[in-house]
Amino acid sequence: MNRAGMTEKTLEFQHVSNRLSPGTHVALLPNRALQLPALANATNRSDESATPGLRGLLRALGAPRSPAELRAQTLASGAGHAAPPGHYFVALELCYWQIEMGGARWMAHGEGLNLSAAERMGIAAALAGLFASADAQLISHLGGEFSLMCEAATPAVQAAFPDEALGCELKSMLPTPNVWQRYLNEAQMLLANLPVNRVRAARGEPVVNSVWFWGAEVVASDFAPLSMTYFGDDPILQSLSSPTSADAIQIYDYRALFGAELAAVIEKLPAAAKLWLNDGRVFQARARPGFLHRIWQGIGAKVQGARS
């Protein structure tokens, strides 16, 4: 019987702890994976205690440094962008917010904006001048990502990660302390008048009408740092990845997959794999109790038949 048949007839998926142990196989999946037939029997309920997205995974891994620092370390590619003494990194995300009655909703960022290299360069040049006046240095990384290098005297921003804020109404999620809301407002006013946005709007493309600051704080964890090997393109997880070893946690990132491609991946996962969803829920397959009982009945009948 193939893996697909076992999933349909003999396995069910249940919520499990997000505690990770050496050698665990972890599959990072989008929430839409629960709509696929392979996971149709998963208990599809919310889990208010789950820590969502990347934040929850970093907490389980016991990440020793801030996400912004880990991200900058990978994106710098050895270009010497380590924060000097008395400074720290803040991740900066370019965003499209949809303006709604009484607020705004985060609709796209990163690759979802489909910005050209020239558009990114134009936006970066405008933002660099803005943040220079706030004693922060804008750093453009390879691949079109950005960081701010701030002086230690600037209070560290507290804000949702992008994967937590995407699709959300942002009125109740604004970064703190207030100095970061001021930077946010100033960046929005600057971006509203950029020629690149007028051109994009004329083409019917999402404009870059805001930025987002995040990742400056170390994610609190009750766990000691764990050894893991990561297969994917998230720069934060890449920075934590170490060479494959027998006791390393194996993390495979399938969050960008859709439809048949995602279904095919799920069908081939080891039965013991932990399925880690964007919203922080973790599932693991187990054999249905009734199926195991039938197996033991069958074995008992064969043994009895052999003796008679």
What pLDDT digit, counting tens, does each position of 118-145 carry? 999 999 999 999 998 777 889 888 778 8
Cα dihedral 183/189/191/192 (nearest 10): 160
Q: Is the pLDDT of residue 219 over 50?
A: yes
Amino acid at 86: G
What does the alpha-carbon distance between residue 25 and residue 3 come to, in Å, rounded to a whole number? 17
CB atoms within 10 A of CB 6: 15
Q: What is the pLDDT of residue 245?
A: 75
Q: Are 268 and 3 in contact (CB under 8 A)?
A: yes
- DSSP count for the chain of H helices, then E strands: 10, 11
Q: Are 238 and 230 in contact (CB under 8 A)?
A: yes
- List pLDDT tens digits, range 73-93: 888 754 445 677 889 999 999
What does the alpha-carbon distance between residue 294 and residue 159 come to, in Å, rounded to a whole number? 52
What does the alpha-carbon distance between residue 67 and residue 55 come to, in Å, rounded to a whole number? 9
- List pLDDT tens digits, range 225-265: 889 999 999 999 999 998 777 789 999 999 999 999 999 99
- pLDDT category at 182 given cuts 50, 70, 90 is very high
CA angle 193–195–201, rounded 5-degree value: 90
What does the alpha-carbon distance between residue 30 and residue 47 come to, in Å, rounded to a whole number? 16
- The pTM for the full model equals 0.81
Q: What is the pLDDT of residue 10?
A: 53
Distances in Å between the Cα of 170 and the Cα atoms of 45, 49, 233, 296 are 25, 22, 27, 55
- pLDDT category at 189 given cuts 50, 70, 90 is very high
Element (H, E) at 277: strand 274-277
Tell me how far apart the terminal alpha carbons of the chain are, to the nearest angstrom.
30
Q: What is the pLDDT of residue 6?
A: 42
Q: Is the pLDDT of residue 164 over 50?
A: yes
Q: What is the pLDDT of residue 81?
A: 58
Using DSSP's 3-state secondary structure scheme, residue 65 falls into coil
Q: Is the pLDDT of residue 300 over 50?
A: no
196: left (phi over 0), alpha (psi -120 to 50) or beta: alpha
- Tokens coding 55: 């934040």
Once rounded to an integer, what is the mean pLDDT over residues 40-63? 79
Q: Are 213 and 9 in contact (CB under 8 A)?
A: no
